[in-house]
Amino acid sequence: MQKKLIAVAVLGACVAGSAFAANVDVYGRIDTGLSYVHEKIGDQAGTDKLSMDSGLSSGNRWGLKGSEDLGNGYQVGFVLESGFSSDTGAIGEEGKLFNREATLRVSGPFGSIYAGRMGRIGSDAGSVGFYAGSVSPFGSGWGKMDGHFAVTANYDARYSNALAYVSPKVGPVTVYAQYTMGNATENESGDDRLFSLGAQADFGALQVLGLVEYLNKQSTVADTNGAPNVTHNDSQYDDSYTINLGGSYDFGVAKVFLAGQYFNAAPNFAGQGGGWKDSFDGFGVNVGASAPIGAGEFLVSAGYGKGDYHVSTKDTNRSADSYIFQVGYTYPFSKRTNLYAGAGYHQTSMEEEVGKDSKTKTTQVMFGLLHKF
């Protein structure tokens, strides 16, 4: 009841005089911890950093969500979610109050349709992100240890001007679909647009997931003088796609996870790449497990990915490799408060020219406290 009153007060400050939905809740989570990072890039001397960090195991957020029952099985709902840094108090993204999610939803016997700014269905973010949290014990990762994203191609976690559909469960299967118009105010050729289609099959202890994502490149860009609408047909700007398969199986004493991906013309593989001209073709595989130990849960994950330069006309035969290993432990003080600790090692190796490698090695140790409200 107190949450609902707070939510009404906050929403009332933003929209004075408006009528309120029948059910409005305020929610959120605060994650603050300490982190030690050792990083070595190529032949440079290694650097060490000890810092207080925000959102090491889970992104900090506060939000409002509400719904109204329209009768006959139909419902309208909304989510407004804002990110922030608990160590500094800064908002998550300048210029966006609800940078994590701002969606309007219509649900019925047909399923649910979402419109607005939302997480990609291939992530574990927001109302429609279903994939990442189901194929890795670390979801989208802890701190600088990015879980399976460290060894696979990855598009943006969230998109504006997006539409998504989540089907009702038919037997064991739920279908997810998403289309994003880019970050402009309309669907236009000057923006990258994402098409995604996925499904999750729930067989009890066994979960099987599949996802195909297609990123339609922008077909017009500004030239070097800033003039818009310069069309490019260079193969360096080929559209990108990924094919993802994964799942988990709960043995009771432990739960195992598997994620695999093939990617083509990916603009960002394992943190490498600088856009469409530096895209990669390749694959990534990640395995993980979680198991109850004492009153808490132990997590472990390891992965490998390899990408080759997409553009065959380049003089160099550029390629990249990525390895990651990470462990973690969470201890619940209550249903809403967890203590966590983790450590990981991530290495990427970029071959700029034949026989010339540039390696980045990152080691991180962290611990912190997560509270949900």
134 lies in some domain: yes
Please report, for the domain that includes residue 114, its CATH number.
2.40.160.10
For the segment 27-42, the average pLDDT, to the nearest whole number, is 95
Neighbours of 219 (CB within 10 A): 17
Mean pLDDT of 87-116: 93
What pLDDT was estimated at residue 229? 45
CA angle, 143 as apex, 278 and 336 as ends, to 5°? Answer: 140
Average pLDDT score over residue span 37-51: 91
Residues 215-225 pLDDT 10s: 887 655 544 44
- pLDDT bucket at 355, cuts 50 / 70 / 90: low
The domain total for the chain is 1
- The average pLDDT across 137-148 equals 87
pLDDT at 232: 45
The pLDDT, as a whole number, for residue 22 is 61
Residue at 13 is within a domain: no
pLDDT of residue 137: 95
Instruction: Say what the pLDDT of residue 237 is.
Output: 62
Rg (C-alpha) for the chain, rounded Å, is 22
Report the range of poorest mean pLDDT among 85-94, 201-210, 216-225, 291-300.
Answer: 216-225
Distance CA 139, CA 126 (A): 13
Q: What is the model's pTM?
A: 0.85
Position 198 in a domain = yes
Q: What are phi and psi of 151, to 5 degrees?
A: -125, 10
Position 227 confidence tier, pLDDT thresholds 50, 70, 90? very low
Asked whether residue 8 is assigned to any structural domain, the reply reads no
Has residue 10 been placed in a domain? no
Q: Is the pLDDT of residue 143 over 80?
A: yes
Range of the domain at 102: 31-372
Check whether 309 has a pLDDT greater than 90.
no
Task: Classify residue 21: in a domain, yes or no.
Answer: no
| Per-residue confidence band for 19, with pLDDT thresholds at 50, 70 and 90 | very low
- Would 324 be classed as within a structural domain? yes
**19 lies in some domain:** no
Q: Is residue 371 within 8 Å of 61, Cβ to Cβ?
A: no
Answer yes or no: is pLDDT of 125 > 80: yes
Percent of the chain with pLDDT over 90: 61
* pLDDT of 263 higher than 60: yes
Average of pLDDT values for 147-157? Answer: 85
